[in-house]
Structure 1
């Protein structure tokens, strides 16, 4: 875990605590039931990954532990197969999270969910499409916001520009795959830019880190802090890479090959 800064237990502020948003790619959280829609044949008990009920329950508990550990009012999640999976994760969370789910009709059957504190965020519009999901509403103390989550670098720039045209009254938060965006041109700041320059990332690719997941924040907000969320229990025994659920087809039993990202803002 060299080069990573662990998140402090709390932020000492005299005024109202900052708002917080996080994003976590759960890395293929399928259930064990054949899907009539997406292609989940690899992740079935008889599939090549030998995905059993016991392995499923372990990953659900690990994903819930990540959400609880983040402890933020907005936690975007990608890589869940269906709402039944999301309900299982919510039930396993110790925090009092509500959730939003929409299917994106992706070929791999993986979708988004938003876990949120119901006394902090009051959603009134939820939309989803191919590799994206948005949730808009009032964030207490911050006004009207919209969280746009993306699993594709290819379409994210277009989705940001479309949102700016259609909803100019909403302050925009973007999470997930953002490499195709032009943040400054779209009125967004990059809270994780310093972490990326320092060599940190969310996923290990050979001998280097990649910032596969990211967070962008509307410039109407002031960023307090943004970084990759690193905890020792999210790393494999070597401490050099996230503890994957699988290495190729070998079951490792970890939460997944990705680290979460987070941002505090005012």
Structure 2
């Protein structure tokens, strides 16, 4: 059997090294990212507002919303964020930027915060928690029931659209497709009957929904009230509802909120978080 010539062996080693470098570069370029959306219900601070009625959520209000209860709720919600361990988390139900900052500070996720006031009647807003080494926000806009954050996610142009309901959602998505044709779009929140196929979006949570899972329990069954719709150009690895026993009422099996009507239960929220892993 003939042995390889020295030049042949060197050439093969060079090709092996080059292939290894290409594989490492490809793996780095295809870094997986996780996103979650969590409707907190009503994370009020304890300071009375001058612009809307939040009197129930004050120490003297009907719900006796004290600093102790506020701090305990922050710790519980932060523990959920830490369990999710996502670099991006969209939130709804945050009253003020300070409340969002307080929540981020309780978490170990090293989050930065984007918050904008929606001028809603109940004073509740969106917030985006993000890790600065993954997302670089460049532009933030708000409208009726939505907040959009434009920037770069792991070097790729993206627009994150957080929404409360489906009203005007299709119009806003159409505007973003026209204004930011090169940006990949991710929609998070309550989308109602909007699914986004015509706008080039995919619904990775549909599989979990077909299997009977949801993030809110109503009328004897689970409903998928919140979704994460992602650009059709993105490859989804996994999407599901984040359901853990401590988030549920041990008697009913439903998500345990902070308040059951006027009664303080020391729970989390009436909805469970939803999440998706993908390659941007």
TM beyond 0.5 = yes
Query: Whole-Å Cα distance in 2 between the matches of residues 125 and 223 of structure 1?
Result: 25
Q: 2:111 aligns with which of 94, 97, 107?
A: 97
Query: Whole-Å Cα distance in 2 between the matches of residues 154 and 160 of structure 1?
Result: 11
Query: Whole-Å Cα distance in 1 between the matches of residues 53 and 167 of structure 2?
Result: 22
Q: Which SS does the other structure have where 2:76 is aligned?
A: helix
Query: Whole-Å Cα distance in 2 between the matches of residues 41 and 130 of structure 1?
Result: 24
Q: State whether residues 36 and 86 of structure 2, in contact with CA within 8 Å, keep that contact through their aligned partners in structure 1.
A: yes
Give 1:239 deviation, angstroms. 6.4
Query: Whole-Å Cα distance in 1 between the matches of residues 53 and 226 of structure 2?
Result: 23
Q: Which SS does the other structure have where 2:38 is aligned?
A: strand
Query: Whole-Å Cα distance in 2 between the matches of residues 79 and 38 of structure 1?
Result: 15
Deviation per CA, 1:60-84, whole angstroms, max 9, x where unpaired?
1112112221111111011000011
* Larger of the two Rg values belongs to structure: 2
Q: State whether residues 200 and 210 of structure 1, in contact with CA within 8 Å, keep that contact through their aligned partners in structure 2.
A: yes
More helix by share: 2
Instruction: State which drifts further: 15-24 or 248-257.
Output: 15-24
Count of aligned positions:
252
Determine if the alignment matches structure 1 residue 52 to structure 2 residue 66: yes
Moved over 6 A (4+): none
- Runs (5+) with no aligned partner, structure 2: 1-25
Q: State whether residues 135 and 153 of structure 2, in contact with CA within 8 Å, keep that contact through their aligned partners in structure 1.
A: yes
Q: State whether residues 87 and 109 of structure 2, in contact with CA within 8 Å, keep that contact through their aligned partners in structure 1.
A: no
Deviation per CA, 1:83-125, whole angstroms, max 9, x where unpaired?
1101111111112111111111111100011111101111111
Query: Do the aligned partners of residues 33 and 217 (structure 1) sit closer, same or farther apart at CA in structure 2, a change above 3 Å counting?
Result: same
Partner of 1:128: 142
Partner of 2:12: none
Partner of 2:14: none
Determine if the alignment matches structure 1 residue 32 to structure 2 residue 46: yes
Q: 1:161 aligns with which of 150, 156, 174?
A: 174
Q: State whether residues 136 and 147 of structure 1, in contact with CA within 8 Å, keep that contact through their aligned partners in structure 2.
A: yes
Partner of 2:267: 254
Query: Whole-Å Cα distance in 1 between the matches of residues 99 and 157 of structure 2?
Result: 29
Deviation per CA, 1:138-171, whole angstroms, max 9, x where unpaired?
1115x10111000122222222112112111110
Q: State whether residues 28 and 79 of structure 1, in contact with CA within 8 Å, keep that contact through their aligned partners in structure 2.
A: yes
Q: TM-score with structure 2 length normalisation? A: 0.86
Query: Whole-Å Cα distance in 2 between the matches of residues 239 and 225 of structure 1?
Result: 28
Query: Whole-Å Cα distance in 2 between the matches of residues 160 and 212 of structure 1?
Result: 19
Give 1:238 deviation, angstroms. 2.8
Partner of 2:121: 107
Q: TM-score with structure 1 length normalisation? A: 0.90
Partner of 2:254: 241
Query: Whole-Å Cα distance in 1 between the matches of residues 257 and 101 of structure 2?
Result: 23
